[in-house]
């Protein structure tokens, strides 16, 4: 029962935005499930534009409107619908939604496999993020520079800071509790990995500073020395 619920809704990100794929199941059960998934990483999804993939499912205007209301409650805009159902396509057109073309069947099988796994490109930033600046990306994020207090990095994958991490970092923002955060100086105002949250302990100074890697262990975020072994 648990396994079936895990695959009914797939959310993945790319440089073009988010896509939500709806699997089988009762519509009235899918909407609360979608709402719960989005709540897990509200800060990451806010302001996103979404392509909805519905397969062969028949969805009427009212059902689409209910789904749009769920997305709007998370500050997400539904911009297109990809469907194999003419009934759903007609409902989408009547609501002014764009119909997206299906992915090319001739695409290389390895490329399709990566798309199904929700793998996104990594992002490399060569500058310091200052207070008030926010960086969000669906894949891994590498910052060559500092993340100052008041700045934030939110990633669907891992976060690596080749410098001082003193702001907020959220790795695995789309629900990946196995993501990691690494920094040459790990003293964030707040650290999040998947659904877990931690804050830095008392200030470290001088020789206490060392590269560290943070991950989820036994239900909590722990940091340990980051070194090649």
Structure confidence at residue 116 (pLDDT): 40
CA distance 99 to 177: 34
Fold of 123-225: Pectate Lyase C-like (2.160.20)
How do the pLDDT tens digits run along the chain, 229 residues long?
A: 333 334 578 887 655 667 888 888 888 888 998 988 888 777 777 788 888 999 889 999 999 999 999 999 988 899 899 998 889 999 999 999 888 865 443 333 433 333 344 445 678 999 999 998 888 887 899 999 999 999 999 988 899 999 999 999 999 887 788 999 999 999 999 999 988 998 776 555 555 678 999 999 999 999 999 875 5
**Domain segments of the chain as ranges:** 2-116, 123-225
For 145, 185, 211, the CA distances from 207, given in Å and listed in that order, are 20, 11, 11
151 burial class (0-12, 13-18, 19+ CB within 10 angstroms)?
Answer: buried
Model pTM score: 0.59
CA distance 43 to 224: 27
Q: Which CATH number fits domain 2-116: 3.30.70.260, 3.30.1360.20, 1.10.3720.10, 3.40.50.300?
A: 3.30.70.260
Other Cβ atoms closer than 10 A to 170:
24
* SS3 of residue 134 by DSSP: strand
Sign for the CA dihedral angle at 217, 220, 224, 228 comes to positive
Helix (H) / strand (E) element for 196: namely strand 196-198
């Amino acid at each position: 029962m648990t396994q079936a619920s895990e695959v009914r809704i797939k959310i993945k990100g790319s440089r073009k935005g988010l896509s939500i794929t709806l699997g089988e199941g009762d519509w009235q059960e899918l909407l609360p499930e979608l709402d719960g998934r989005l709540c897990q990483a509200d800060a990451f999804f806010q302001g996103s534009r979404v392509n909805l993939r519905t397969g062969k499912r028949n969805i009427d205007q009212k059902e689409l409107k209910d789904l749009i209301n769920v997305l709007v409650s998370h500050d997400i805009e539904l911009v297109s619908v990809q469907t194999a159902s003419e009934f759903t396509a007609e409902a989408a057109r009547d609501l002014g939604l764009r119909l997206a073309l299906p992915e090319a069947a001739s695409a290389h099988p390895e490329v399709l496999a990566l798309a199904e796994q929700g793998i996104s490109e990594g992002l490399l930033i060569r500058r310091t993020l200052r207070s008030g600046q926010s960086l969000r990306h669906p894949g891994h994020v590498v910052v060559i520079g500092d993340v100052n207090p008041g700045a934030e990095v939110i990633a669907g994958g891992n976060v690596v800071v080749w410098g001082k991490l003193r702001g907020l970092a959220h790795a695995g923002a789309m629900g990946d509790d196995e993501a990691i955060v690494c920094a040459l100086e790990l003293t964030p105002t707040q650290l999040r990995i998947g659904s877990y949250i931690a804050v830095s302990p008392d200030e470290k100074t001088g020789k206490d500073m060392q590269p560290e890697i943070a991950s989820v262990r036994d239900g909590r975020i722990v940091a340990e020395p980051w070194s090649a072994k």
